[in-house]
Structures are given as structure tokens and as C-alpha cells.
Chain A
Amino acid sequence: MLEASGLTKTFDGLTAVEGASLHVERGTIVGLIGPNGAGKTTLFALLSGFLGPDAGRVVFLGRDVTGLPPHLICRLGMARTFQIVQPFGAQTVRENVAVGAHLRHRGRAEALAHAERIAHAVGLGAELDKLAVNLTIAGRKRLELARALATGPALLLLDEVLAGLNPQEITEVIPVLRGIAAGRDGTPGVTVLMIEHVMQAVMNLADRVYVLANGRMIAEGAPAEVTSDPAVIEAYLGHGAAERLRRAYGAAHAA
């Protein structure tokens, strides 16, 4: 469904993403992990049209969308959320979500009704009339999710929707994400590509995981496989960490 190859983006001197490729198959949940500053958010911006790549190609649903503006990519069925939430603060939750719903619903009443359904689905049903500025962080994250979902996407790009939530909130949102991916109440399932730091969620949800470090893809595979990959451990914990871990682990077993 999504095929990115050789994506590169340089910000005056700093190469944030370098030759990154990834592949997302329809009906799967794919995780994208990596240390802070690895270039994950930048990669999302390249996929969703917010940034134009210096090199590389993005093919979505069989179409080359490289360099298309974000609103057109969204219309084709790829919706994203922002790591730093960007609500329409002066508007209510219902109005916020309706902006997304208007992409596929011209009429105001239909869009508002659709917004209401989506808000219920992500657990914002009780806060429909609240102004977005008055939501908690957890509420704003859900709002990001609801708005993107309201555009009726085939592919959702989620940028750390669990960051800043407490363990209980995370436990509440995980089934919501699974429900979105699986589809329910007659709605089709949505393919998901998610940047996530909360490992519990990645292990729990993702079918496959990509690991980005210093702008490069360093590993790819099933979650358990990838998280035990020495290259990945080193990327997170620093050079030599895998060796130290292995030795510590081995010593513990020998004892």
C-alpha cells in the first residue's frame, strides 16, 4: 500500500533522513522506532507531503505521490497526526473532528454526525462540546487521532500518540488503536504506520517494526526479532552496549 524508497532530507547541513526505505502492506500495523532525533518525524513529513525529499520516491496505492502537497495526499487516503498536537484550540472537539469529516462529507449535519461517531470510537464522546484548548494531553492526543480518522483514511500515520500518557491511559488507548486497525461496526480496517516509544504498545500492536537511527534504517522485522538485534540495542544504548549486555546476560546464566 505504501512503498518509500531511498528517501533523503537534509536541513542546512544536517542530514535528518538518509536513504530510508520502507514498505507497508495493507491490513497491517507497522511500527517505526528509533532514538530521539533519529529522523522519524521528518520521515513522516516526507511521506505525507509536508516536506519534499531531496532524493527518493513515495508510492502510495500504486501512485507516485512524491512532492504532492499534503492536502492532496490526505485526499488520496493517507492521514497523519502530529507529535506536537495541533488542535484548533478555539473550536470544540466536535468542530475539530468535523473538519476532518468534511473531507468525505459535504453537508454540515452529516459531517457533525460523523464527527460524533468518530469521537465516541476514540473515547472522546463525553467531551464533544469541550473547547480543544481545555482538553488534557491525553484528550488532545485522542483528538489528533479522531481528526485524522475522520478523513476516512486507508493508511494512518501516527506520530507518538501515546507519548505523555500515563500507564492507565496507554492501556485504554491500545485497544482503541487495535479496533481502528481491525475495523469494526462495519467500518473497514485501517492500515497503520506508527512511530512509538512505548515499547509495550509496539510489542503489543505491531506486526512488523522498522528501526531508524541517525536517519538510516538499521533493522526491520518482527518486534521481538528487532528488539534483540545487537545493532538496534547499540543504537539505543550506545556503542558496545550489545556486547556488554550479552556478557552480562551470559554471566547471569553461568552463575
Chain B
Amino acid sequence: MRGLAGIAAFAVAIALMPAFVTSGYALNAMIMTLYAALLGQAWNVLGGFGGQFSFGHALFFGTGAYTMAVLQVNFGWNAWAALPAALAAGGAIGAAIGALTFRYGLRGSYFALVTLAFAEVFRILANTFQFTGAGVGLMVPLSERAADMQFATRAGYLYLILALVLVGFLVSWWLKHSRYGAWLQAVRDNEESAAALGVDVLRVKLQAIVVSGVLMAAGGAFYVQYLHYIDPHIAYGPAVSVEALLAPIIGGMGTVWGPLLGAALLHVLGETTRNLMGDAPGINLAVYGIVLVLMVSFLPRGVMGLLGTRRAARAAGDA
């Protein structure tokens, strides 16, 4: 319950932010950080809690984004009606990929590569079809009304992404405090043992990839509403897949606060790099790569691992 109180306090603090901060730059920074946190939370469900590392989470992101855009642009749907469809599409793709990979026992780098390959296939498909706007992409008509899930002020978008991140938080908290979460982490740590204790390993993994896909699709839907535009490279390119896995790896995989923490650190890092070295193309990715290698080598449990050393030391009984 203390964990829930922390999440509530965080939500209140962010919700109060527009009352004190009017700078569009600062609000945008907060929105983009929360957005990165949402992608991280999505990846963390499957990768952090479930131990199934995906390199292709763009698959779910892009599917959510395109469902949102196509339904509005081609079919004239209201954005609020399109959102549940986008989430369902992300979950359905998750179920399909899960059925294709987990059923055949694909794990580790094989699973990672298959997700990457599927994201690439979807990028090519989106580039081909007219109804997704092909290479040009889709532009969502501007209509800055809450009824169309668009907002005239940054504060509106802040509340929208905050609501989605809160869902991500509640899912993460639930994974820490539920039977399903215990099963998922058992599968992550040892599939044979989990099965020996009555855990339906395949089912648990499928459920995790569906939940992860739904959250990631929410990120895609938000992207479309905030920036009014999507194209194949943004939707299904590797950048968003990398962004999704970077935040929890840096912040702490399989933790409730890791993705947010990682997203915040990445944001600061990104801004610092830009200030120091300008907007040289690819420089951000190079820095991310270095950070990733450093994290994996020296802090495999992420920044949360550092913060948690006291608790871990107690748990290890070497006090």
C-alpha cells in the first residue's frame, strides 16, 4: 500500500505542475519524459518482469499509432472511440507474435530477433499500403478540442499522458503484488521450476506480451494525438524500440519506478548531449549505446538497483 501512496503522490505532483509552470519548454520536457516512461513501462512488463527481451516493441507502438490515425483519417472515427481499438490492436499483435514465438519455445536472442524482424516487416508494409499513407504517412486533422483528444494547451496533453502513465504504474504495482506477477517473475527466473510449481508458462508469457502490447500501443496512440502525424519510419523504425528498452534497463528492470527514472535520466542525458555537441545526426544514439553498455557492465540492476542496495543487503543477510 505504501507503493500505491507513492504513485498517488507522484500523480498529484505532476497534475499540479501546470499551475506553477507556464514554460512551454518545461511542460514539453515533462510530457516527453512521461511518454518515454510509458514506452518503458510497456517494455518492462514483458522484458523486466517476464524476462523476454524484445528488440521490436515498435511493432506494438506502430500498430497503436496507425490504428489511431487510420480510423480517424480514413473512417472519420472520433479519437476517443479509436483509442480502445488502438489498444486492442496492440494487444492482438502481441497475442499473434506471442503465439508464433513462445509456442515454439523461442527465447533469448531468438525472440529478440524475431520481434525485430516483424517490426521491420510492418515498416515495409506501412510503406507500401495506400490506406496507411504509404511512405508519406498520415496527418491527423487538427482540431484542438478535448472531445477530439487534442488540446489547445500543453497542460491537456500532460494530463493525457499522465493518465496513461498511471495505468502503467498500476499494472507494474499489480505485478509486484499479485499471483500473476509472481508467476511471471517465476517464469523469468526459471521456466522449468515454474512449470514444476504448477505455472502454465506459455499462458503466462502470452498474457504478458498482450499487456505489454496494449501499453505500447497507448504510447503510439498518444504520439499521434500529440504530434498529429505518423509515418512508417517513426511508427515501426528501430528508434522507438530502443527507446522502450533503454529506460527500464537504465532505471531498473522489473521494478515499478525504473522506467520513469530511466526516462528522466535519458531526457537529461539527451538534452546535455545536444547542448554540448549540437544536433549532429546520430550523436544521441551513440551516447545511448555507450550508456547501455556501461549499464549492462556495471549496473545490471539499473539505478533502482543502486537505490535498493540497502534493502538488497538486508535481503542477502550479510548485514
Contacts and interface: CB of A to CB of B under 8 A. Distances in A.
Nearest to A147: B197
A129 B314 CA distance: 8
A70 B195 contact: yes
Contacts of B194: 99
Contact of B182 (A70, A80, A90, A108): A108
Interface residues of B, number: 25
Contact of A102 (B177, B182, B195): B182
Interface in B149-199: 177-179, 182-183, 185-186, 189-190, 192-199
A99 B201 contact: no
A148 B183 CA distance: 15
B193 to A, nearest CB: 4
A50 B194 CA distance: 12
Contact of A92 (B193, B199, B315, B318): B315
Contact of A88 (B178, B190, B312, B314): B190
A48 interface: yes
Contact of B185 (A69, A79, A88, A150): A88
Contacts of B315: 92, 129-131
A142 to B, nearest CB: 15
Nearest to B301: A90
Interface string A81-98: 110001111111001001
B199 A130 contact: no
Interface in B178-234: 178-179, 182-183, 185-186, 189-190, 192-201
Nearest to B312: A131
Interface in A93-122: 95, 98-100, 102-103, 105-108, 111
B186 A88 contact: yes
Given A106-B179, A129-B315, A88 B196 contact: no
Interface string A150-165: 1100000000000000
A89 B182 contact: no
Nearest to B195: A70
Contact of A91 (B179, B189, B195, B198): B189
A54 interface: no
Contacts of A193: none
A74 B316 contact: no
Nearest to B178: A108
25 contacts: A50-B192, A70-B195, A71-B200, A75-B198, A81-B196, A82-B192, A87-B190, A88-B186, A88-B193, A90-B189, A91-B185, A91-B186, A91-B189, A99-B193, A99-B197, A102-B179, A102-B183, A103-B197, A103-B198, A108-B182, A130-B317, A134-B316, A148-B196, A148-B197, A151-B198
Given A79-B197, A150-B197, 17 more contacts: A50-B195, A69-B195, A70-B195, A70-B196, A71-B198, A71-B200, A86-B190, A87-B190, A88-B186, A89-B190, A90-B189, A92-B315, A99-B183, A99-B197, A100-B197, A100-B198, A130-B315
Interface of A: 48, 50, 69-71, 74-75, 79-82, 86-92, 95, 98-100, 102-103, 105-108, 111, 127, 129-131, 134, 147-148, 150-151
